[in-house]
Homo-oligomer: A and B are copies of this chain.
Amino acid sequence: MGLSLKVRDMATRLTVEIAYDVPRVEEKLLAKAASMQNFTVKLTNVRQTPLTLEKIAADVTLVRCVSMYAAIHTAAMRESVGVKAINSTKTILYAGDKVLTVSCLHASGIAVPRIAVGLDAEAAEKALEKVGLPAVDKPPIGSWGRLVAFVKDYEDFKLVREHREMIPTSYMKTHLIQEYIDLPNRDIRTLVIGDEVVGAMYRYRPSDDWRTNVALGGQPVSAYLNEELKEISLKAAEAIGGGVVSVDVFETETGSYLVNEVNGVPEFKGLMQAIGVDIPGKIIEYAYKAARR
């Protein structure tokens, strides 16, 4: 990389904007990596900064907002003035809504768990009949496994349905019912940056929750990245618009893979520790190439 950096210096010094709402360690690592790669770094707290249709002094914006709508609106406003957004509005939109994700994946021929979508309580009940018990009932939007419910019987479903009806957000009416995959106590998360899969890890289910989300206590462990996993990850990333995304994968009893979800504003601290790869550096390199295109 030493040479390319020198070439870059002589050629064009670009400005990368890191747009955030709640700064995490990932954003700090990205800023540091960008400085080291001779980018000019512009930090924007979108909670304090209005977004306008005026040109801004940046070539590329890393959209790192925790709030999904903040991420979508930041990407869109930057793209509207010709700034490359990573990820693109499209990727953040499609990865941010699990129904959109699964429909893109299926349309692209990628294997996904069996699902049915109910757009209201009555349809959800029929969706559950289609998928069968036990199942998982997810709202289309939400992070860290929140409100993702394990439905082992009809009583569980009634409980979820009744509570969901009291949550006044309209997208909460949509129930994504998914077959329950009896994982070997873990799922797999890979990270895709452009056309490269940089690593994979297992997330082991904690003792006190059926979900594997690290936010809920899931344990990250480095995983071997075989060709099939690489291929399915790249295809999944491409299906929802590409960029820098993490891909959640289930293993089935027959040894094949199913793509569960894709994350359009991925956290990567856990993976970085698990696999020892300079992920921020790789993201910044990708951003540089993308901005030059």
Can you list, as one digit per residue, whether each of A140-158 has a CB less than 8 Å from chain B (1) or not (0)? 1000001101100011101
A233 to B293, alpha carbons, bound, how many Å?
Answer: 31
A67 to B172, alpha carbons, bound, how many Å?
Answer: 12
Tell me if A7 counts as interface (CB < 8 A to partner B). no
> Nearest B residue to A169 by beta-carbon distance?
B169
A168 CB to closest chain B CB (Å) equals 4
Chain B residue numbers with a CB within 8 Å of A174 are: 69-70, 73
A50 to B166, alpha carbons, bound, how many Å?
Answer: 21
Tell me if A80 counts as interface (CB < 8 A to partner B). yes
Chain B residue numbers with a CB within 8 Å of A253 are: none
Do B167 and A167 touch (CB < 8 A)? yes
A75 CB to closest chain B CB (Å) equals 9
Within 8 A of B (CB), among A5-28: 21
Interface-facing stretch out of A41-49, A192-200, A243-251, A284-292: A41-49
A169 to B146, alpha carbons, bound, how many Å?
Answer: 15
Do B77 and A118 touch (CB < 8 A)? no
Q: Can you name 20 A-B residue pairings with CB atoms under 8 Å? A: A21-B119, A49-B123, A51-B123, A53-B102, A67-B173, A68-B170, A69-B140, A69-B171, A70-B120, A70-B173, A72-B100, A79-B107, A146-B166, A147-B162, A147-B163, A147-B166, A155-B210, A158-B209, A163-B167, A169-B170
Chain A residues near B (Cβ < 8 Å): 21, 46-53, 65, 67-70, 72-74, 76-77, 79-82, 89, 93, 97, 99-100, 102-104, 106-107, 112, 114-120, 122-124, 126-127, 130, 140, 146-147, 149-150, 154-156, 158-160, 162-164, 166-174, 177, 208-210
Q: List 4 other contacts, CB 8 Å, given A52-B130, A77-B117, A81-B107.
A: A21-B119, A49-B126, A70-B174, A73-B99
The 4 closest A-B pairs by CB, nearest first: A80-B103, A163-B163, A50-B127, A168-B168
